Amino acid sequence: MREILFQEIDQLYDEMVQMRRYLHQYPELSFYEFKTAAFIQDQYKLLNIPFQANVGDNGVVATLQGAKTGKTVALRADFDGLPIQDEKTAAYKSQNHGVMHACGHDGHTTTLLAVAKVLKKYQHELAGNVVFIHQHAEELAPGGAQPMIKEGVLDNVDVVYGTHLWTNTPYGVVQTAPGNFMAAADKFTINIQGKGGHGGMPHQTKDPIVVGSQIVTNLQQIISRRIDPLDTAVLSIGSFHAGNAYNVIPDSTTIEGTVRTFDQSLQQFIIDEMAKIIKGTCTAYDVDYQFDYAKGYQPVVNDPEHAEKVLVAAKSVEDVEKAEMVEPSMTGEDFAYYLQEKPGAFFFTGAQIKNGFVPHHHPLFDFDERAMKIAAKTLIAATLNVNQL
């Protein structure tokens, strides 16, 4: 049965590419994916698979009941875009100004719909049930996973799997990890209120740029000097904004950044250290400040048994050259919340374009579309393995 299903995916490939490119042209931002959700619903109507709409807001959940008894497997794909202007020259570049599928969610959606179509065709031979979770708003915390879970998408589910088409990984490679796989992803903002003035008379000011620069330098010492080198954590500054003239010292500065961790106690330690450094530095320079810290998605922690099962499934796919366990990534994903409720695993499907690598969340982002076949086949194989088919 497995080989037949794999052949069906191969035969669907041209249709998958066409669907993915259509979705790529019409991306929508998190929590506003109304047309995309309607498109997904239309596909399930065509497949005659029952579904629920507006789950947790814009989510879509379809359920395929196998003809034989067995366990229920949930498969998840996200479908929101990013606030990025598509700068590709491809014919299928985004038609929605300032919005782009710059992370592969168009491919995730296409992959899951292809899996649904193939499994529906062989529903009479399928054991157990398959729940297809199409999740909105992965890119923007608080995300779509938690509200969908609260509405019961994992009720009666035994196992949950998901994949990310990953351009950091070569095509033909599938990667996962037992336990920690992706990090908790937090955001912080520091607003410094000083006293602006003439650039030629700095002694009359309280320069927020100098204070902010000192804070940025001091914050880096949390990781390098306050944390055990064997622990894993990241603190990165991504934004530093102040002023708009070369000869004017501004009144205020805004700094934004992210912290990535796997351990909650370490996460809290970093928050506490940041608060002390920011307070101490601002006190020394006699300026006011506001420190806002927002905890984002929790770490993605795979069930070791199911992480291994994913690799076993991937190794049964002819196009997979390597299926391997890897070190955790410091990127974040709200798939974490599914794994807090049910056993399962998340994995990367290598989608790097040969000699044309562009990272995720980049205006020129694209991926090797053949990876959708590998992702679909791996998800199918993993689903069948749960019920030993």
pLDDT at 356: 80
Under 8 Å between Cβ of 331 and 183? yes
124 labelled ligand-binding: no
User: Average pLDDT, whole number, for the chain?
Assistant: 97
Looking at the predicted structure, is the pLDDT value of residue 381 above 80? yes
203 labelled ligand-binding: no
Q: What average pLDDT does the segment 279-286 reach?
A: 98
101 labelled ligand-binding: no
For 177, half-sphere exposure in the C-beta direction (CA atoms, 13 angstrom radius) is 13
What is the residue extent of each domain of the chain?
2-183+299-386, 189-297
Choose among 55, 106, 54, 61: nearest CA to 80.
106
10 is catalytic: no
Within this chain, domains 2-183+299-386 and 189-297 share the same CATH topology: no
321 labelled ligand-binding: no
Task: Give pLDDT tens digits for 28-82.
Answer: 999 999 999 999 999 999 999 999 999 999 999 999 999 999 999 999 999 999 9
Looking up tokens 């880096």, which residue turns up?
Answer: 220
| Residue 112, CA distances (Å) to 163, 373, 379, 387 in order | 10, 10, 9, 19
Task: Give pLDDT tens digits for 77-114.
Answer: 999 999 999 999 999 999 999 999 999 999 999 999 99
Structural domain 189-297, CATH architecture:
2-Layer Sandwich (3.30)
- What single-letter amino acid sits at 183? A
Q: Which fold has domain 2-183+299-386?
A: Aminopeptidase (3.40.630)
Choose among 183, 185, 187, 330: nearest CA to 255.
187
Under 8 Å between Cβ of 115 and 12? no
pTM score, whole prediction: 0.95
15 is catalytic: no
Looking at the predicted structure, is the pLDDT value of residue 242 above 70? yes
Task: Give pLDDT tens digits for 2-26.
Answer: 999 999 999 999 999 999 999 999 9
pLDDT at 315: 98
Q: Which segments within 194-299 are labelled E, that is strand?
A: 197-198, 233-241, 248-249, 252-261, 288-297
Q: Which of 33, 78, 80, 273 is catalytic?
A: 80
Task: Give pLDDT tens digits for 315-351.
Answer: 999 999 999 999 999 999 999 999 999 999 999 999 9
Looking at the predicted structure, is the pLDDT value of residue 389 above 70? no
Task: Give pLDDT tens digits for 159-198.
Answer: 999 999 999 999 999 999 999 999 999 999 999 999 999 9
Looking at the predicted structure, is the pLDDT value of residue 278 above 80? yes
103 labelled ligand-binding: yes
Choose among 61, 46, 152: nearest CA to 112.
61
pLDDT at 355: 84
Q: Which of 138, 273, 334, 366 is catalytic?
A: 138
Answer with the residue of higher pLDDT: 357 or 116: 116
Tokens of 231: 């622990």
Tokens of 182: 């992706």
Q: With pLDDT > 90 as the criterion, what percentage of the chain qualifies?
A: 98
